[in-house]
Structure 1
């Protein structure tokens, strides 16, 4: 680094250099060494200082956000707070940034505005997904979570469950099988008895109808005994049918009763495996919709989490699926007496800060996020807001 300095001196000419050395060569040597050492330090430090300043726009940054309690919350005066907001303030302080917050109504619009470059950074409870990575860049994850399920704490209505059971696919298949077998037995009895038994003889409609009716009476043990098969083949078939129908109806009745009792005691939903058979709700424009669509689970969307939880209270849906920490916080604050969050989580996901594609300050934000989330203050924030020890 001393080369430019020496070259400068050499440019003054040999006579000037000789005079300097002759009059004060020791002072010159000391001065040259100090300049060289100082120059190396100066040049070594400048790139880092310039990188921190030049990576970010030389203006007040515009930070996008949306309400996602408790990660981003706005009070009546328009002041923002929450886990994500506090994290961004810590990052901005570490990087010496000035900023202002701007609000979007939902995550989808927030992502779209960020991808257009309307916001320098977006901060909320933004789930990192493959689809979103195609339109924005994400920072290092600052919170790992998963989806949760909220259900009503009220007992399940017996009559509602009876109706639901009776119109379920399994019940209809079992009932259809019983009816089909009864029709088959009735037709066979008619074939065996039509020429030997006046009760099942006569025109086709009369004889076949009487045989089918007898088969149904035998199946349900409602026969009065005033008529029945008289041929050997007919009576053999009748005995077999009576025994089989008794066992079949007993098993069928026990299964339905057991299912109703289990649902009454445990509730309709106890895990992800129950979601396909119940009415599910979730938040509109959220990453949860991608999971439900992928699992082919029919669902109804709501504009706000609170709207979905109110529908859960009213009984118009059976489960509400959404990010577990946001769901648990909302339930704890406003629905603790009527709604509970199941002790299960699934579909792991992470939250991150979103930025327009290709911004040079992404690396600086990554470093600041990692530093902030490994600080004791971050652990205290999570414990105060969510009761989590990390």
Structure 2
């Protein structure tokens, strides 16, 4: 009887253990691919670029190689361009793509994306105005908004009143408006100027009734002229500031603007009806800006920071466009088996304390940092 109970208990335990073992999940590591995966890379500094020896470097290349080393993924690079990258990944020509690849809903329909590793607003590079160029622009704005017309009217009426006052008062009191014509007219001009500006020193005063009547009219007319000048000048400064600020994509309608062919910015500006000049590479666009062929160049802030700082010595003003935002990620073919492990490693890499320093090392200082 005891032997029967022993075997019954043993059989029951084996049955329970078998049942539990069947339900317990078994972690199976993702196998390392036997063949190198095909990594498409876009030559777009500072994300990816070739050095003089033909080796790939850049922020994205460094990030990918750290991930591949951690996961022990063999790979081989294949150079391509941004215009064809999505279709080539979707067709399975490549397994994954790295470089300046912005995430969009249209691209998401065709390929899978990793976690975003950078996110920036779009930005525009503008020529800085300095020295004589700044003064020329200032007087141009004043002329366009009627300020100079008011100045010419003020000077003309000042001269006419001074001449009339001198003709009326020249024979009355030599110490005020008399003496030589140049001295008398100069005194009348001085009186007209200090009266119009409401300074009123009182060192020169008309003596005749007609002269005082002219002075009375001039006082009121002078106030009107000064008020008109003040209003025109303030309005011109306000409009000039509004015209020089770029805070959204629609503001670029005031400029001849360059964009990258096939970029997200190209599509957005075209949708707004803004005519743009297209360029194959950011280097071409910045070169056109430097030569004055365009007035503004739009692409990602990361690219503009890199080129402006490392190639042009911070010559241009880089302005963020807060109403736009571009997230950068790696693109992978759909159902790519290594995507989850790559995502985990990517998050680990980009949450390190040193990640921001790595970004600034490749991109240069952020706009407005003064560096």
SS at match of 1:127: coil
Deviations 1:320-361 (A, max 9, x none): 111011111111111235322125544112111101123233
Deviations 1:235-292 (A, max 9, x none): xxxxxxxxxxxx9xx97997599548964x8874433253122211111121111221
Q: Within the alignment, does 1:335 sit opposite 2:324 as a pair?
A: no
Identify the match of residue 48 of structure 2 among 51, 72, 95.
72
Identify the match of residue 150 of structure 1 among 116, 125, 131.
125
Q: Within the alignment, does 1:112 sit opposite 2:87 as a pair?
A: yes
The structural deviation recorded for 1:140 is 1.2
Query: Which residue is 1:126 aligned to?
Result: 101
SS at match of 1:328: helix
CA distance in 1, matches of 2:137, 2:362: 38
CA distance in 2, matches of 1:289, 1:166: 34
CA distance in 1, matches of 2:354, 2:237: 50
CA distance in 2, matches of 1:267, 1:364: 49
Q: Within the alignment, does 1:315 sit opposite 2:292 as a pair?
A: yes
Query: Which residue is 1:285 aligned to?
Result: 262
Counterpart contact for 2:122–2:320, Cα < 8 Å: no
Query: Which residue is 1:137 aligned to?
Result: 112
Q: Alignment RMSD, CA only?
A: 4.3
SS at match of 2:40: strand
CA distance in 2, matches of 1:145, 1:311: 24
Query: Which residue is 2:167 aligned to?
Result: none
SS at match of 1:340: strand
CA distance in 1, matches of 2:138, 2:365: 37
Counterpart contact for 2:301–2:320, Cα < 8 Å: no
SS at match of 2:28: helix
SS at match of 1:122: strand
Counterpart contact for 1:161–1:260, Cα < 8 Å: no
CA distance in 1, matches of 2:73, 2:259: 36
User: Equivalences for 1:68-107 in 2 at 5 Å?
Assistant: 68-105=44-81, 107=82
The structural deviation recorded for 1:146 is 1.4
Give 5+ residue unaligned stretches, structure 1: 1-20, 172-246
* Residue-pair matches, total: 280
Query: Which residue is 2:28 aligned to?
Result: 48
TM-score (norm 2): 0.62
CA distance in 2, matches of 1:313, 1:72: 23
SS at match of 1:149: strand
TM-score (norm 1): 0.60
Residues 1:72 and 1:271: Cα distance change in structure 2 (over 3 Å): same
CA distance in 2, matches of 1:88, 1:117: 19
Counterpart contact for 2:122–2:298, Cα < 8 Å: yes
CA distance in 1, matches of 2:292, 2:69: 47
CA distance in 2, matches of 1:163, 1:388: 33
Q: Which has the higher helix share?
A: 1
